[in-house]
Amino acid sequence: MCGRFTQTSSIPRIASRFGIPEALIHAQDGPPRYNLAPSSAVLAVRQADAGRELVRLKWGLVPHWSVEPKTGYSTSNARAETVDSKPAFRSAFKRRRCLIPADGWYEWAFVPGQTWKQPWYYSAQDAEPLALAGLWERWEQRDVVLETCTVIVCSANTLTAPVHDRMPVILGEDDWADWLDPETPTEAAKTMLQPCPEAWIQTYPVSRAVSVARNEGAELIQPVVL
């Protein structure tokens, strides 16, 4: 799963990294976020007629056919194996794929003999924002419009497996254009949903303070000694 992640890069840096022209930046810059949880507003990159655009979406996808602007089950993550068949995601997977910039994400490991879990932080080896594979959706009813997203997760690679058996799908730059293109067939898009190479990321243990969703600050991603 991917239940917490960070977006600490500035909007200008994200725009440069993902090739977003200034005219298509539809989100204002804000403070760095070190502990984004489901229901947070997160930055996302999606394809518009004029090019790639940067927007803020609520994390936790609400299908366009939902009766209410909420769901009765968690839609913050979509499993790679079933994203093309699950009713909540299959429509978005066909035409509304996005990239979610992330400077890193957290997972929690069981600690033998303890009732608490140890958080670990994962980030890019080259310190660049990672491109998480996501989907976005637009829910509309009367005069209410809600745009939401989900993060796609796949099986873990050998670096992340000791802590958790799932990880977010991280797309390499060579796949960004095809992933965002709504004309890319779902069969081709699904082949991209694989664990990333271990060499792309690094990991280390961090403070248990990140386990409390209201906590924020750069100290959350500082390594700790176990």
Catalytic residue list: 2, 107
Secondary structure E strands in the chain? 5-7, 33-36, 41-48, 51-59, 77-79, 97-102, 104-110, 117-124, 130-141, 144-155, 166-168, 201-205
Distances (CA, A) of 132 to 113, 160, 194, 215: 34, 15, 12, 23
For the four alpha carbons of 24, 200, 9 and 89, in that order, the dihedral sign comes to: positive
**50: which 2 tokens?**
């004029």
Contact yes or no for 101/17 (Cβ under 8 A): yes
Contact yes or no for 72/176 (Cβ under 8 A): no
For the four alpha carbons of 1, 105, 96 and 149, in that order, the dihedral sign comes to: positive
